[in-house]
Chains A and B, each alone.
Chain A
Amino acid sequence: MKINTYILILLLSLNSFFAVAQEQKMSESEITSFKQSVNAVAKKITTITTDFVQYKHMDFLAKDIETSGKMYFKEPNSLKWQYKKPYNYSIVFKNGKILIDDEGKKSSHDIGNSKIFGKINKLIVGSVSGNMFDDKEFTISFFKTKTNNITRLIPKDAALKKYIKQIELTFDNDDFTVIQVKLIESSDDYTRIVLKNKTLNAKIDDSVFTN
């Protein structure tokens, strides 16, 4: 009898936990106010420096593949992803070029050669700065939980859609910046990138983006 009561209490508390974590669709007025807040913050962003942890989830694997490092963004469109664990690999997107440093082995490519890469680049920059509420490119829906706001973007471009079924951006409720990016593939496997220890508008030297 006593055990049953405990189970009941446990179930009830779990239930209330899920109720808290459950998300709700935003109302029209909430969407307008959320967009305004995000855009206001994005407008003020000149630089972002943040740590990131990337989890690649594939259903057939026992464990997600975890990589981590630092990300730098500087207005208008310089972006660097620097993986430090478990390997050193960095990729810079700058002025239509991609610069790669793979454990000291350097190479550069034109983004222009790859339309899809250009789109993915725009998407990454937009995801990080939160500036991607583009109705022409995406079908967007807005949700809220007690702690976060979540935006789901479905690409309209057929070429992009082939690779990415949906992008899910999670925003911090306090400062309206992106704290998690989830790129979901058509197979439902996904890449989840968690951004933490973020610093906004600190000076970043241009040499960071030279690779």
Chain B
Amino acid sequence: MQKSTIPFLLTSCLALVLVSCSPVNLVQDYKTAPVEKPVFQNTYFANPEIDYVYKANISVYGNELTGIFVAKKINETTHRVVFTTEFGNKLLDFEISDTEFKINSIVDELNRKILINTLKDDFRLLLKKDFMVTEKYSKGTDEVVKSKDGKYFDYLFVSTTDHKLYKIAQVTKTKEKLSMSFTSENNIFADKIVIQHYNLKLRIEFNYFKQN
């Protein structure tokens, strides 16, 4: 009995190691396509004339946090990002560019290094406009561009029928870190954005605020 259990256990462990270390392949069924443009642009937050205002729902380890998310491009490189309660009290106020990060204010309850770093990375990816394309893939009406982003790779999924970016997946070589999905009616801004983390129990949903 024991003899047969040991090889089984060993095989299972090996299988587990192989599965967990296997490279992430988000474009398995896709064909490699030629890279025509070296830069892909995400313009959902790129217009300095627009106040991007969203109702936000953040679910973190079973806790729900709701409020208003505001982003605005304040100069060529930088966005101002503010999260307030429904009453308008500011919970956090950041300035973010590709290389710089400044905290204007944050309430004590949210002033945790791990949370700040996670939000900083998420917002930086969300607001990033220019992605340097290293590879390109296609399948039917779908196109995917791959871009190197520090220690991560970003896969940007675009529907070629309406030329809309509908998903960004951020991965390491072996793990999918997060996905950002976009729903956009007009292609000018995203009506709905969902950021789903896979290594943390964190989900952020933004719904565009239709003001009078």
Contact = CB atoms under 8 A, between A and B. Distances in A.
Q: Do A and B bind each other?
A: yes
Chain A interface helix/strand/loop/mixed? strand
A62 B212 contact: no
A32 B64 CA distance: 46
Given A62-B51, A105-B64, A163-B107, A54 B74 contact: no
A85 interface: yes
Given A65-B53, A107-B64, A91 B90 contact: no
A67 to B, nearest CB: 7
Interface residues of A, number: 29
Contacts of B142: none
Interface string B43-63: 000000101010101000000
A66 B211 contact: yes
B105 interface: yes
Given A58-B82, A62-B49, A86-B211, A187 B72 contact: no
B104 to A, nearest CB: 7
A189 interface: yes
A183 B30 CA distance: 54
A165 interface: no
Chain B interface bracket (under 10, 10 to 19, 20 to 34, 35 or more) = 20 to 34
B87 interface: yes
With a 10 A CB-CB cut-off, give which of A87, A107, A187 has the most chain B CB atoms.
Answer: A87
18 contacts: A56-B84, A61-B72, A62-B49, A62-B51, A63-B211, A65-B88, A66-B212, A81-B87, A86-B55, A86-B209, A87-B209, A89-B86, A100-B66, A102-B64, A107-B64, A120-B89, A185-B89, A191-B87
Given A60-B74, A66-B212, A107-B64, A189 B90 contact: yes
Contacts of B156: none
Contacts of A209: none
Nearest to B80: A60
Interface string A89-129: 10100000000101001010000000000001000000000
A171 interface: no
B112 interface: no
